Structure 1
């Protein structure tokens, strides 16, 4: 299964019919035909069955949805082949890394373009993923942190100069070791850096990207499970 986001729409790609209904119900299911998304009812959760040679066209149509966006689109792909090589035919893959940085019960977040986000950035040539995550936290927030574990990987699709990009971001949990010089990186158009109480993330989740929302919800569940097992 491949899971990523296009314009805040959660995309799942499945190859096996028996996986389709795991944890999900659908308001509508379609067999793909050209322009199906512009002529069909778009509800919260949609299932579309498609042949591999038409996957690229379907992804283009998804990227062109401008209003009444569904919450998720599950794509049932009629193939036995690996999905990732098919995605590589359509997307340029870039790699990034970021940090879920905590200090006590507080979580480090940035505010940019009127939206809450987590510090992250592209991995430089020859740079280890974990080092890139630590560097980006320091550059974007002025905070020094130490990584404790690899936590999650998110995928986000977007377009730059008419090139379709799929960004893979590897996230690490981190502990703050020095925030005395905490400040937003203005060169990256970051307006604010803040410590947010982990138990008071509801307003943040309402004003962040779908991929970050999923990540933070997974982290909240991780914290709850960890605390339960500690008792």
Structure 2
């Protein structure tokens, strides 16, 4: 099928003939300052905007400069292309402290999705992986803690998302592992100590209404799976 990754002011448009599964194995999208850095390991991709910042076979210095420009808001997207995808990814990773997290896209029997409102943004329940804890265990624990639900089961694993942030002078790269989940609990209770003010089941129309008030990495996740 035709896969299109939308490119406007915030990202680049690519079109390739492939299945989503094979595409995702050949790319990483890391949100830096809420803007995408796309790492590709294939060459038969065309971009519809000549203004997009595309770098082929970048060296470490170029990669570092691109990351810095995204952090400072000097550019709003960038694409790095190379047959050595893992090397590019490792060059990005070395600039950050690494954190693993896990969370869930939780659906009920009515087709509604569980959303939380935290620090002025709609979000999905998720949290940091603790020592000796699997990502599945983390995802279930965090959803239960943040939403106050008890009955919960994992359906399948979804694609991970990547984003960076800075805290107390340290730069972090967070990988979040996502799982589709099922629950029909109606007794929802937000985890106030985690700055969550609202937990709500949302139908498709409601989700479309709040998509502008969530993070770019989550927008893409919601578009793919809802």
TM-score (norm 2): 0.79
Q: Alignment partner for residue 54 of structure 1, among 27, 51, 62?
A: 62
What is aligned with 1:26? 49
Alpha-carbon distance, 1:89 to partner: 1.5
- 2:172 is aligned with 1:172: no
Shift of 1:92: 1.4
- Residue in structure 1 matched with residue 80 of structure 2 by the alignment: 75
Deviation at 1:211, TM superposition (A): 0.4
1:155 to 127, 152, 162: 162
SS at match of 2:162: strand
Which one of 103, 106, 114 corresponds to residue 108 of structure 1?
A: 114
Partner deviation per Cα, 1:86-140 (whole Å, 9 max, x = no partner) = 1232121110000000112110000112211000000000001101000000110
SS in 2 for 1:143: coil
Does 1:142 pair with 2:155? no
CA deviation profile, 1:15-36 (whole Å, cap 9, x unmatched):
45x2442xx42232xxxxxxxx
* Equivalent pair of 1:47/1:76 in contact (CA under 8 Å): yes
Q: Structure 1 residue 188: deviation in Å?
A: 0.6
Dislocated runs of 4+, deviation >6 Å: none
For the 8 Å contact 2:123–2:218, the answer to whether it is kept is yes
CA shift in 2, pair 1:178/1:78, >3 Å: closer
| d(CA) in 2 for partners of 1:159, 1:65 | 14
- DSSP 3-state at the match of 1:155: strand
User: For residue 203 of structure 2, what is the aligned residue in structure 1?
Assistant: 197
Deviations 1:154-204 (A, max 9, x none): 001111222221100000000014332x11111011111111003542112
Distance (Å, rounded) in 1 between the aligned partners of 2:171 and 2:45: 26
Bigger Rg over Cα: 1
Secondary structure of 2:94's match?
A: helix
Q: Which residue number corresponds to residue 34 of structure 2?
A: 8
Output the CA distance in 2 between the equivalents of 1:208 and 1:192: 14
Aligned-residue RMSD, C-alpha: 2.1
Q: TM-score, normalised by structure 1?
A: 0.78
Gaps of 5+ in 2: 1-26
Structure 1 alignment gaps of length 5 or more: 29-44, 221-231
Distance 2:220 2:63 in 1: 24
Verify the 8 A CA contact 1:14 1:74 in the aligned structure 2.
yes
* Aligned length in residues: 197
